[in-house]
């Protein structure tokens, strides 16, 4: 490992990649495939936001950690499947979302994604890793009372700032249906935030 870091070409390649825009990283991936320096740059750039995305879906710190690790393994293994039809970040989010869903299915084989997961709200109260003010924690609890699909759309739009077009690519859902889902989620959250303690 020390040999690699002392190699000037490896260092300069890593430096070059760290200065690239997302579009430039996308072009490099499509042109050259996934190289170790490119993978390191993707992890460095996206690991934190992907963790918080998984955390919003899974609540548990340990589960989110597992989902992120699994997602980046898949990104490394399946890089050749990326065709540039969506933004690189959207593709990464899709893989992370799928890994989060797989983890939920593994933990709870009978889970219904059209139903809420209110038991997750209890985990928030007990979780030592969660920090934030009362309003932020209340919002996290309220999200547990949404059906998973609404929670996903709200998380991607509100927390991650993805456009409806990106979310449509990520979830294979029409923009109209996503807007309706987001609107319903906001209405429900307003109610839950008023009643949750």
- Average pLDDT over the chain reads 87
pTM summary value: 0.82
Lowest-confidence segment of 58-62, 114-118, 162-166 by average pLDDT: 114-118
Above 80 in pLDDT, residue 197? no
- Confidence (pLDDT) at 13: 83
pLDDT at 150: 94
Judged by average pLDDT, the poorest of 93-97, 122-126, 138-142 is 122-126
pLDDT at res. 1: 41
- The half-sphere exposure of 42 on its side-chain side, counting CA atoms within 13 A, is 28
CA distance 32 to 38: 10
Supply the pLDDT for residue 8. 55
pLDDT tens per residue across span 30-55: 999 999 999 999 999 999 999 999 99
CB 177 within 8 A of CB 170: no
CA atoms within 13 Å, Cβ hemisphere of 174: 3
- Of 196, 181, 78, nearest to 141 by C-alpha is 196
Q: What angle do CA 20, 21, 27 make, to 5 degrees?
A: 85
Domains defined along the chain, listed by start: 1-111 (1.10.1740.10), 113-197 (1.10.10.10)
């Amino acid at each position: 490992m020390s040999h690699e870091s002392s190699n000037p070409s490896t260092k300069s390649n890593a430096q070059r990649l760290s200065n690239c825009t997302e579009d430039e990283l996308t072009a490099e991936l499509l042109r050259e495939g996934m190289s170790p320096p490119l993978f390191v740059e993707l992890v460095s750039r996206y690991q934190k936001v992907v963790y918080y995305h998984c955390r919003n879906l899974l609540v548990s710190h340990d589960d989110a950690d597992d989902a992120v690790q699994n997602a980046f393994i898949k990104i490394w293994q399946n890089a050749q499947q990326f065709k540039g039809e969506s933004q690189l970040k959207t593709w990464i989010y899709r893989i992370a979302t799928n890994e989060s869903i797989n983890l939920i299915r593994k933990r709870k084989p009978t889970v219904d994604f059209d139903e809420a997961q209110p038991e997750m709200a209890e985990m928030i109260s007990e979780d030592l890793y969660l920090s934030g003010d009362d309003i932020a924690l209340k919002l996290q609890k309220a999200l547990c009372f949404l059906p998973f699909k609404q929670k996903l759309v709200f998380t991607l739009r509100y927390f991650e700032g993805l456009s409806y077009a990106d979310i449509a690519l990520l979830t294979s859902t029409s923009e109209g249906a996503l807007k309706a889902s987001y609107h319903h989620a906001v209405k429900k959250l307003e109610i839950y935030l008023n009643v949750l303690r």
